[in-house]
Chains A and B, each alone.
Chain A
Amino acid sequence: MPPRIELRGIGKRFGDVVANVDIDLAVQPGEIHALLGENGAGKSTLVKMMVGLLRPDAGTIAWDGRVVAIDGPHAARALGIGMVHQHFSLFERLTVLENVALGLDGQNASAALATRIRDVSAAYRLPLDPDRPVFSLSVGERQLIEIVRCLLQSPRLLIMDEPTSVLTPQEAELLFAVVRRVAASGCAVLYISHKLQEIRALCDRATVLRAGRVVGACAPARETPASLARLMIGTAPETPRRRSAPAGAVRLETARLELPAATLHGTALRAVSLQVRAGEILGIAGVAGNGQSELFAALSGERLATWPGAVTIDGRAVGTLGPAARRRMGLCTVPEERNGHAAAPGFSLSENAMLTGRARLGLSRLGVLRRHAAGAFARRVIAAFGVRSAGEDAAAGSLSGGNLQKFVVGREVLQSPDVLVVAQPTWGVDAGAAAVIHAALFDLAASGAAVLVISQDLDELRLISDRLMVIAGGVLTEAGVPDAVSTERIGLMMAGVREAAHASAD
């Protein structure tokens, strides 16, 4: 039988940037095929060519043995290519049925469509009720909508782009069962991820990309996570070891912090109390959208609490002080979004250094910017964190995501803060840079700073934290020491199951 889809010698470049070179990839009907690679390895570009969003510069695509030209999303859909996106776009106020209808060409939210949704849900055993409004669904359930939308079109190739990045471990297990049933029905599945464990558990074969090229193909079940990582990264990353320091006095504290949701479907913080001590790294786990951005804003001062004592730094009440005042008290922060939040993309790296460093590093005098001092500081960050850039005058927007991440983390860490709050410290950076960032966080804690890390990457939090807390639905609960708490229990806490929290407290 010919492969369902076969790419031969596919190449794609954007100006001077080479995204894909000579890619060969074949997925058989009924196969779950992993596309594995770090951020920036060229996975997204490759997939965009399969769904008709980009045209290849070189190479051919064959479908069931015949060469085809996928010259638009309609052509891809006509062939039977369906895609489940990492970030799904749903209308929260509409029902499941209405959302599905909107995603299909020329379909009304009819009773007939509702029946088809029920049939498909029953066939693949998806727990999905077409009449429920989307805002009442969990993230995992929302993702099922996207999958049902694809399945209704009887896809012959289903592409899933990092589908578990917003799921709890339990929700991911449910998803895997669905994916296996889809494959068993004869559909080919291309599964994109960089999570090695889930690829080993789920996928029959894997194609590994690095720097735009295929660097290997394997049967993941027969590999170890370390051997897969070596394929993906090129060298085995060296994991820095944590030197546990005895925790000192409380440096950062919130006391029953309340904050209303910033947007209609945001998550309000409810009586959030936490303490971070000198020398300690506190990790806050949670599925995206459970109040992390509100917690970050409340700590950084971008949103103010209603009374001063809600947030204290070294015993000083700062709840009603803005970001600049908190920085002067020793707080540095790294927000999750690099472009436009942590950095202004049109500004040079020097100017971005002045954005947060002007008070602590004395980068301004009498209101006048000290450009040489800022440039020197930017060069220090670039050197210490291996930021690949054209120098301190390069625009922040010209850096790749990973390099900009290194720059903004470095900019805060090198200010020697007394308290550091960092969200997603290693999002999008390669393994080597992640090790540099982790080592910097360890050094900072060892020097007596209090470090709070908000992350969706549970493996990372387990690696670097002294203590874990979980945020779910705007409520923060203690999870304990990473080695003493199971992933299952944390998963239940992330899903907001209160009993798990009580059980872990026993």
Chain B
Amino acid sequence: MRVRIEARAAVPGWLPWLTPILSLVCTLLAAALLFTALGKPPGQTLRAIFLAPLLSTQGLSELALKASPLLLIAVGLAAGFRAGVWNIGAEGQLIMGAVAGGGVALATYGSTSAWVLPAMVLAGVAGGMAWAAVPALLRTRFGVNEILVSLMLSYVAGLFLSWLVLGPWKDPDGMNFPQSRMFDDAALLPKLVEGTRLDIGILVALAVAGVASFVLRRTVTGLQIRTVGEAPAAARYAGFSENGTVWATLLVSGGLAGLAGVFEVAGPIGQLIPKLTPGYGFTAIVVAFLGRLQPIGIVLAAGVVALSYIGGDNAQVELGLPNAAVGLVQALLLFFLLASDVLLRFRVRVRA
């Protein structure tokens, strides 16, 4: 019997949707082995991670709460990735969005105006855009690699936030803890389901994914983004501006990351703290690829990754699973996804 790997002439349309499922199955199997080796019952552990959160209102609402920033950010990043614009700094753009939006909340402290929240949202989007404009300017003007610039600016943003909450924006009545005041009610997102932490951010995120899907597939702008990524010379020939595309995709992904940031501080957190995110800006890169850079796929991917977060917390509490093991499960998922991509370009033939 001979096993040969051959290049595919054409990719069947269903295949790009099958490989994520295949990689999910492989992840479950490998994770089961891992848990067995750690001396945990594999069935029960997998159930705690992947099933338990789906069985309660509390679990589902937390899932949606975690999924919405991932979804917002990943949709924006995917548009850039489709155009070959590699914004790796969504984490920083999220932070600057939170800072700008939170700044509005602190400046209007005590106000009950209905305009506080919209102003925060606008400021948050603008903050994320401004932070993404730096790599856009440097790439279009001087040809500087946007990967490095956007990534490094993330650390700048993190330190800037630390300085703010340790210094000028520290809560005067906060026992010297490094955090801002709790925001007023006027600066908080309305809750979607009473008794849970879930707010309307998830609706906005889903709407953004729907709009992005339409724009990418059905509009000239989407065609432009896809052409610049797929064949830059053809894009120039078609009259699409490469610099315009770089600007547009960086501003959109930065703005959406900023929106995710302001939703975090106006939602579940309710104030500015030094560590706003468990790495949403970076995890969203995984989510974007897991969802095949398609907004609808990203909705599913954000759900799966959020599930692994919530379920991982569950397993830590219930079964004493180490935190690192949860990280490993997420890493396995990405590993198998990238590995199964080989099947997109090659097929395996077994001959007797």
Query: What DSSP secondary structure best describes chain B's contact surface?
Result: helix
With both beta carbons as reference points, the residue of chain A lying nearest to B347 in the complex is identified as A15
Complex Cα spacing A157 to B239, Å: 49
The list of the 8 closest CB pairs from A to B, nearest first, reads A324-B239, A323-B239, A344-B231, A355-B238, A341-B233, A340-B231, A344-B234, A344-B230
Q: Check A327 for interface membership: any CB of B closer than 8 A.
A: yes
Q: Check B170 for interface membership: any CB of A closer than 8 A.
A: no
Interface string of B79-105 (1 = CB under 8 A from A): 000000000000000000000000000
Complex Cα spacing A302 to B234, Å: 10
Contact assessment for A16 and B9 in the assembled complex, using a CB-CB cutoff below 8 Å: yes
With both beta carbons as reference points, the residue of chain B lying nearest to A393 in the complex is identified as B13
With both beta carbons as reference points, the residue of chain B lying nearest to A335 in the complex is identified as B237
Q: How far is the CB of B80 from chain A (nearest CB, A)?
A: 18
Q: Check A354 for interface membership: any CB of B closer than 8 A.
A: yes
- A337: chain B residues at CB < 8 Å are 233
The chain A residues found within 8 Å of chain B, CB to CB, are 15-17, 300-302, 322-325, 327, 333, 335, 337, 340-347, 351, 354-356, 358, 364, 367-369, 371, 395, 398
Contact assessment for B238 and A323 in the assembled complex, using a CB-CB cutoff below 8 Å: yes
Contact assessment for A369 and B238 in the assembled complex, using a CB-CB cutoff below 8 Å: no
Q: How large is the interface on B (under 10, 10 to 19, 20 to 34, 35 or more residues)?
A: 20 to 34
Q: How far is the CB of A93 from chain B (nearest CB, A)?
A: 23
- A342: chain B residues at CB < 8 Å are 234, 237
- B9: chain A residues at CB < 8 Å are 15-17, 398
Interface string of B238-273 (1 = CB under 8 A from A): 111100000000000000000000000000000000
Complex Cα spacing A184 to B234, Å: 48
Contact assessment for B234 and A358 in the assembled complex, using a CB-CB cutoff below 8 Å: no
Contact assessment for B239 and A322 in the assembled complex, using a CB-CB cutoff below 8 Å: yes
- A327: chain B residues at CB < 8 Å are 239
Contact assessment for B239 and A368 in the assembled complex, using a CB-CB cutoff below 8 Å: no
Interface string of B1-37 (1 = CB under 8 A from A): 0000010011000000000000000000000000000
- B233: chain A residues at CB < 8 Å are 337, 340-341
Q: Check B275 for interface membership: any CB of A closer than 8 A.
A: no
- A358: chain B residues at CB < 8 Å are 220
Contact assessment for A367 and B238 in the assembled complex, using a CB-CB cutoff below 8 Å: no
Contact assessment for A367 and B239 in the assembled complex, using a CB-CB cutoff below 8 Å: no
Contact check: which of A17, A300, A333, A369 meets B223 at CB < 8 Å?
A369
Contact assessment for A347 and B10 in the assembled complex, using a CB-CB cutoff below 8 Å: no
Q: Check B66 for interface membership: any CB of A closer than 8 A.
A: no
Complex Cα spacing A325 to B239, Å: 8
Complex Cα spacing A398 to B10, Å: 7
Contacts known (A340-B231, A341-B231, A344-B227); A395 close to B10, Cβ less than 8 A: yes
Complex Cα spacing A324 to B237, Å: 8
Q: Check B113 for interface membership: any CB of A closer than 8 A.
A: no
Complex Cα spacing A150 to B288, Å: 51
Q: Check B47 for interface membership: any CB of A closer than 8 A.
A: no
Complex Cα spacing A346 to B11, Å: 11
A333-B237, A342-B234, A347-B227 known; 9 new pairs, CB 8 Å cut-off, are A302-B237, A322-B239, A340-B231, A344-B226, A367-B220, A368-B218, A369-B220, A371-B218, A398-B9
